[in-house]
Structure 1
């Protein structure tokens, strides 16, 4: 799925905000000078409270999650706390979308409903009309 440059920038900023939120919760327990007992007490106290999430909503974080974030941070630093974007593969085959684009360019007045009907008649299947509309907007 192709995203515009602005969408990618917004996603990266949101992911960074999430990473900063995670770090804000684990920065104190991540102190190497703390004993295991002190760290455990601190993590339990953090897990017992409600926090303001990266986008202003109330959030509770379990002790297991805090422990996982601490391990991730120790292994990979701040970058390990930033969520990675999901790896989504397009569900509509590229050749079907290419044919839909060719049909639309052949007669620009064709609607997505008309293109879908032609695709169904041609191959017995077509993507949803809304999928075609979204794809045509990107042209």
Structure 2
């Protein structure tokens, strides 16, 4: 083109931002299956019901690998509807790994350390303060000496 790469890049801006639906569609996975005579297709241990008119045809199943409960069906490059879950046993693709592994729960000892500290503190404070010494005996007949 005879133009510097940076100059050519800057001449093309602003760049279009993709539509979220188009972006999601770009990252979907697809596999080909043959529809049985009972209008069922199988994908990773799950069976799906499709349009009975597709019986015996080879179709393309387009899906999100993290959610196998919704599949789009394409026959001969044309949209042929949705595959409904017939018998679902696996809810995600076997090769789809979660982005962050789940943290294992820490084992508990069964000892309430804060409760033990609170009990010991309460016992120590109760021994140091003698509330009985503050009480005045009103019924005593003794008079203070002068």
Provide TM-score, normalisation by structure 1: 0.22
- Larger fraction in helix: 1
Provide TM-score, normalisation by structure 2: 0.22
- Larger fraction in strand: 2
**Structure ID, larger Rg:** 2
**Which structure would you say has the larger RCO, counting Cα contacts within 8 Å and 6 or more residues apart?**
1
